[in-house]
Amino acid sequence: MRRPRTMAPIVASMVIVAAVSGMSAFAGDGTPVPHPPRGKGERCVADTGFMRKNHMKMLLHHRTEAVHLGVRTPQYDLNGCVSCHAVEGSDGKPVSFASDRHFCKSCHSYAAVSIDCFECHASRPEVQGKTAFVAPADREVAAIDRYLRDIRP
């Protein structure tokens, strides 16, 4: 009989902590879901579902082409993502990957997928508010989709 009574404040405080932290949002059925901050641009380079599923593949292929062949397409550049999705911290500057509020981290810590991109890459834009976003044509996204399907079925 004593047990539930002693657990109650702990559970209550856990709920409060969860509610206060950034990962607090729950889906309709009570499942906690991440809510990564929205980008500043009008729209992303592809629709949300496509990006959720393919962003890692897109970054992987873009990196190879950019480093080895010098194909620089700013809209698919990691710097493009980082600039557009920059989250302002309490000091008015964009937060780095060390912060839980960082766009990439907000999802990756939820999914327990650790990434090492930011061991080398800058996790915040050099010039605040400057984005390299250029909305690509839909056929470009279709071409990426085709390419990703072709190379790895």
Q: How many residues bind other proteins (CB under 8 A)?
A: 34
Residue 123 CB contacts under 8 Å (≥ 6 apart), including other chains: 82, 96, 97, 98, 102, 104, 117
Q: Which of 4, 70, 91, 111 binds other proteins (CB under 8 A)?
A: 70
* Binding flag, residue 101, other proteins (CB under 8 A): no
Closest CA to 33 of 107, 114, 102: 107
Is 72 a binder of other proteins (CB under 8 A)? yes
27 vs 151, beta carbon nearer other proteins: 151
Task: In whole angstroms, give the CA distance from residue 37 to residue 10.
Answer: 29
Interface residues toward other proteins, by CB under 8 A: 58, 61-65, 67-73, 76, 79, 82, 96, 119-122, 124-126, 139-140, 143-144, 147-151, 153
